[in-house]
Chains A and B, each alone.
Chain A
Amino acid sequence: MSDQYAQFEAYARGELAPPARTALAAALAANPALALEYAEFLELTDTLRAAGQRRATRRTLRGLHAAMRSEAAVAAAITAPNPAASETLRRDVDALARPEAQPLLRISGTEKRLRRLWSGYRATVGVAASVAVLAVFATLLGLEWWRAAKTAPALAGYQAMRREINTLKRNQKALSRSISQLDPAAAPALPVNNGKFSGTGFALTADGYLVTSYHVIQGADSLLIEGRDRQRFHAETVYSDVAHDLAILRIKDRHFAGFGRLPYTFKSGEADLGERVYTLGYPREDVVYGEGALSARSGFEGDTAFYQVSIPVNPGNSGGPLLDERGNLIGVVSGRQNDVQGAGFATKSSYLVRLVDSLDSAQPVAPYHLPRANQLAGTGRSQQLKKLQDYVFVVKVFE
């Protein structure tokens, strides 16, 4: 058998003498088993050689890499201006040039692990971070939109007239006032919480019911009613009618003794086009009078529950009373149209009267006694206002 291999090898190398070679060639052609043996022999030796070659190639490449590394380090050392640094570098280069070159940097195990983690999960971390940032902003934006959609009625061009109170400005004013007093004995001014929104409201009955617009008290935690004489009462919502933008409040303070006789009456029918109308409201700290005419018997986008009036209304006017010349209450101021000059809207008093009637028939805690006698008719406007202003209040809303 080993003779056969010797023959194979000589044959493969072409070292076999001519007669033996032709004999072997003939035998290989004639005997398939022998041919297979020869093929296997060739494969074996070829594989052996190729494996050896691959090992050699690997070694060469490793050598090339080390050489390249050390050259780069030498180049760096040459460009390094500091002689001491270049000396250490040269030493490092020598270390590198050795076949089992170790990396230059000495890194602790933890740091190495951290570096590996970072390089491995860099992309994932980046994606996670951007998703987190996106999620945060999406949530914030979404919340803001949701709030806006919830608080504002979804009517383009229509603006409800409740006033957002600028607490900062008022605090500053209070502060400068207390400083200007320069009285060391003066007690430090407590920060006054003035609420977040304000509107106007007016008395409905003598015993503590009030009317304002629904959107004024929307989302309220607590309500504070403040009169012209700075007297304050706590109030609670008794009923709110979203469709007609009406809210009935009731004063819940124990020491509240009643408003006294109301000077105006509520008109249950409809007012006529062109009637002179006016309102009192609190678009700012002081009570403000507004006058105009009833310009249409329907409101925004033809809503027949509202009048259109040509009174300039401002944030804070909402919930104010709308009266005609004879002192009949004909509406509750609700809002204005943004893109139209001088178009204010007020809920018709007939809806208010009907609402009160239905509430009264449902056995309320305190019965509703709507005023029956009108004390305003026939007096001048300023006389009317003098009587009226005690029954018009600021409604402050706390959220």
Chain B
Amino acid sequence: MSSLPAPSSLTISTTTPDDEALLAAIRAGDERALSRLYRQHWPMVSHFILQNSGSDDDAQDVYQEGVRVFYEKVRDGSLELSCQIKTYLYAVCRRIWLKRLTNKSRFGVRLLDEEDYQALPQTGAEDDLQAAEEQERRFELMNQALQRLGEPCRSLLEGFYLLEKSMQELTDDFGYTNADNAKTQKYKCLLRLKKLFFNEYNN
């Protein structure tokens, strides 16, 4: 099987000026920059997954997860990039796919890599991914707790914290007599959510 395109650019190096500009734009919340980044590296990851017995859907899944990890780190400002964005994304996606394959397969998995794979362990992708997975577990628990909370508490909390609606809007939406009433209701809901969430979380 052939190797991936443009393997020469995957050598480890500090971020390029182009990367820096892109990172700054994404950090500032520029959606077009994210879109450009997304398009730029999709062929590489897609090719990698297809080479390693994945489908197009798998490629999309893995790539989105990889970009999400990257994006969240950038937005947090906690990303310490010691290599090109391309290398980092490759490392993250490779890690994700390896994990999925290992779960799926009874045998050991060997991935077909590009020549310069030696550079990958230094990208910090492993740790970032682990942190993201830990977070994912917490979010999963939170979602379960929200599900069990039931209506209207769930919509109320989601409206306030997730969709960031104002208290007045929520009062109108849910038909409370006044904003204070809605607030009291919200805190009650939050208390119940806290019990549900920490019960699960601490177990």
CA distance A1 to B194 in the complex (A): 12
- Among the listed stretches A52-60, A150-158, A332-340, A359-367, which one makes contact with chain B, having 4 or more residues with CB under 8 Å of it? A52-60
CA distance A44 to B193 in the complex (A): 8
Residues of B with C-beta under 8 A to A123: 53
Decide yes or no whether A2 CB sits under 8 A from chain B: yes
Given contacts A6-B183, A60-B34, A122-B53, contact A44 B162 (CB under 8 A): no
Decide yes or no whether A387 CB sits under 8 A from chain B: no
CA distance A61 to B194 in the complex (A): 30
Which among B67, B139, B163, B191 is the interface contact of A2 at CB below 8 angstroms? B191
Q: Is the CB of A47 within 8 A of B190?
A: no
Residues of B with C-beta under 8 A to A68: 35, 38-39, 42
Q: Is the CB of A64 within 8 A of B38?
A: yes
Q: Is the CB of A60 within 8 A of B162?
A: no
Decide yes or no whether B184 CB sits under 8 A from chain A: yes
CA distance A114 to B53 in the complex (A): 13
Residues of A with C-beta under 8 A to B54: 119
Q: Is the CB of A61 within 8 A of B67?
A: yes
Most chain A beta-carbon contacts within 10 A, residue among B54, B56, B161, B184: B161
Q: Is the CB of B53 within 8 A of A51?
A: no
Given contacts A57-B71, A67-B35, contact A5 B190 (CB under 8 A): yes
Residues of B with C-beta under 8 A to A61: 38, 64, 67-68, 71
Q: Is the CB of B142 within 8 A of A47?
A: yes
B144-168 CB mask vs A (1 if < 8 Å, else 0) is 0000000000000110011100000
Q: Is the CB of A49 within 8 A of B68?
A: no
Q: Is the CB of A64 within 8 A of B191?
A: no
Q: How far is the CB of A53 from chain B (nearest CB, A)?
A: 8
Residues of A with C-beta under 8 A to B39: 64, 68
Residues A281-311 near B (CB distance < 8 A): none
Residues of A with C-beta under 8 A to B193: 44, 48
Decide yes or no whether A32 CB sits under 8 A from chain B: no
Q: Is the CB of B38 within 8 A of A65?
A: yes
Residues B22-51 near A (CB distance < 8 A): 31, 34-35, 38-39, 42, 50
Decide yes or no whether A116 CB sits under 8 A from chain B: yes
Q: Is the CB of B68 within 8 A of A54?
A: yes
Q: Is the CB of B38 within 8 A of A6?
A: no
Most chain B beta-carbon contacts within 10 A, residue among A6, A67, A103: A6
**Which residue of the partner chain A has the closest CB to B138?**
A47
Given contacts A40-B194, A68-B39, contact A52 B71 (CB under 8 A): no
Q: Is the CB of B53 within 8 A of A55?
A: no
Q: Is the CB of A5 within 8 A of B191?
A: yes
Decide yes or no whether A91 CB sits under 8 A from chain B: no
CA distance A206 to B183 in the complex (A): 130
Decide yes or no whether A41 CB sits under 8 A from chain B: yes
B162-203 CB mask vs A (1 if < 8 Å, else 0) is 110000000000000000000110011011011001100000
Residues of A with C-beta under 8 A to B38: 61, 64-65, 68
Which among A51, A64, A120 is the interface contact of B143 at CB below 8 angstroms? A51
Decide yes or no whether B72 CB sits under 8 A from chain A: yes
Decide yes or no whether B60 CB sits under 8 A from chain A: yes
A106-123 CB mask vs B (1 if < 8 Å, else 0) is 000000000010011111
Residues of A with C-beta under 8 A to B9: none
Given contacts A47-B142, A50-B139, A123-B53, contact A6 B187 (CB under 8 A): yes
Decide yes or no whether B55 CB sits under 8 A from chain A: yes
Q: Is the CB of A48 within 8 A of B55?
A: no
Q: Is the CB of A48 within 8 A of B161?
A: yes
Q: Is the CB of A62 within 8 A of B64?
A: yes
CA distance A3 to B188 in the complex (A): 10
Given contacts A2-B187, A2-B188, A65-B38, contact A51 B68 (CB under 8 A): no
Those 5 A-B pairs whose CB atoms lie nearest each other, nearest first? A52-B162, A2-B187, A5-B187, A51-B139, A48-B161
Known: A48-B157, A54-B72, A67-B35. 7 other contacts (CB 8 A): A48-B193, A49-B162, A51-B142, A61-B71, A64-B34, A64-B39, A68-B42
Query: Could you list 26 examples of A-B contacts with CB < 8 Å?
Result: A2-B188, A5-B190, A40-B198, A44-B193, A44-B194, A44-B198, A45-B161, A49-B161, A51-B139, A51-B142, A52-B158, A52-B161, A52-B162, A54-B68, A57-B72, A58-B64, A61-B64, A62-B64, A64-B34, A64-B35, A65-B38, A65-B64, A68-B39, A116-B55, A119-B53, A123-B53
Q: Which residues of A contact B (CB under 8 A)?
A: 1-3, 5-6, 40-41, 44-45, 47-55, 57-58, 60-62, 64-65, 67-68, 103, 116, 119-123
Q: Which residues of B contact A (CB under 8 A)?
A: 31, 34-35, 38-39, 42, 50, 53-56, 60, 63-64, 67-68, 71-72, 135, 138-139, 142-143, 157-158, 161-163, 183-184, 187-188, 190-191, 193-194, 197-198
